[in-house]
Amino acid sequence: MQEFKRAFLDLAIGQEALLFGEFKTKAGRMSPYFFNAGRFSDGASLKRLGEFYAKAVLASGLAFDALFGPAYKGIPLVTAMAIALAEEGRSVPVSYNRKEAKDHGEGGALVGAPPQGDILIVDDVISAGTSVRESVHLIQAAGARPCGVAIALDRMERGLGPLSAAQEVTRTYHMPVVSIVDLDDLSQYLTGKPGWAPTLAAIRTYRATYGIQA
């Protein structure tokens, strides 16, 4: 496992953004883990989170011209990632949307730099794909091209069909989904850690029951 993935999981567990136990998903499944990016709620953790997004995307080799963060959780995430990229010497334009378009001031649904070129969408996870769908529409309406999605955690879990939410995005919009970590990374991270054997067993069982092929 790449070191930044391990460091991200250290941070996520330390911030209680990644919790273990029994959690009911929107699909009604009992998941042995739960991820909430809203727990990265201070300057230090957001700074590091942005760095992990930047490392994951740069490691993927995905080319992009600008960043887009869907409201609401995507706004601090895309901001943190843009700052991390700037610290690496690459300053890229950033935009995000409002939930409700303004009819005064600058107006419209978009805030920030007008989307141009290839736009990378930055979000926490992909569940039903609603946020991605809305982002793609806004980006295309502005005359730009959505080129990929960056997320923190890929659950690698089937939706209503045989594909995961991330795979559905790739199939529907013909663009890759880059994650900082996925469920296989989490299993590898927990392997051999004293006291984590029951949690690892539960995750592997869940993966075998609801997971997709890597």
The CATH number covering residue 64 comes to 3.40.50.2020
* Backbone angle region of 128, left / alpha / beta, with phi > 0 → left and psi within -120 to 50 → alpha: alpha
Q: Comparing 108 with 187, which gets the higher pLDDT?
A: 187
Residue 105, pLDDT above cutoff 50: no
How many independent structural domains does the chain possess?
Answer: 1
Tokens representing residue 13 in the block: 């567990």
Please provide the distance, in angstroms rounded to a whole number, between the alpha carbons at the two ends of the chain: 15
Could you report the per-residue pLDDT of 125-147, keeping only the tens digit for each? 987 678 899 999 999 999 999 99
Q: What average pLDDT does this structure show over 106-131?
A: 87
The answer to whether residue 47 is catalytic is no
Say yes or no to pLDDT of 98 above 80: yes
Does position 104 have pLDDT exceeding 60, yes or no? Answer: no
Q: What are the tens digits of pLDDT across the range 156-179?
A: 999 878 999 999 999 999 999 999
Among the residue ranges 103-107, 146-150, 172-176, the one predicted with the least confidence is 103-107
Supply the mean pLDDT for the chain: 92
Among residues 26, 99, 104, 174, the one annotated as catalytic is: 104
pLDDT in tens, 35-62: 999 999 999 999 999 999 999 999 999 9
The secondary structure of residue 38, as a DSSP letter, is G
d(CA 99, CA 110): 9
- Give CB contacts under 8 A, 24+ apart, made by 3-8: 4/51, 4/52, 4/55, 4/56, 4/59, 4/180, 5/180, 5/181, 5/185, 5/189, 6/189, 7/48, 7/52, 8/49, 8/52, 8/152, 8/180, 8/181
Structural domain that includes position 55: 3-210
Give pLDDT, residue 102.
52
Residue 147 · residue 63 · CB < 8 Å: yes
The percentage of the chain sitting over the pLDDT mark of 70, rounded to a whole number, equals 95
Q: Are 178 and 63 in contact (CB under 8 A)?
A: no
Reply yes or no on whether 104 is catalytic: yes
Of the residues 24, 102, 137, 193, which is catalytic?
A: 102
Distance of CA 56 to the CA centre of its chain: 11
pTM of the model: 0.93
Q: Mean per-residue pLDDT for 5-14?
A: 98
Average pLDDT for 78-99 = 95
Task: Answer for the pair 172, 122: CB distance below 8 angstroms, yes or no.
Answer: no
Higher-confidence position of 137 and 72: 137
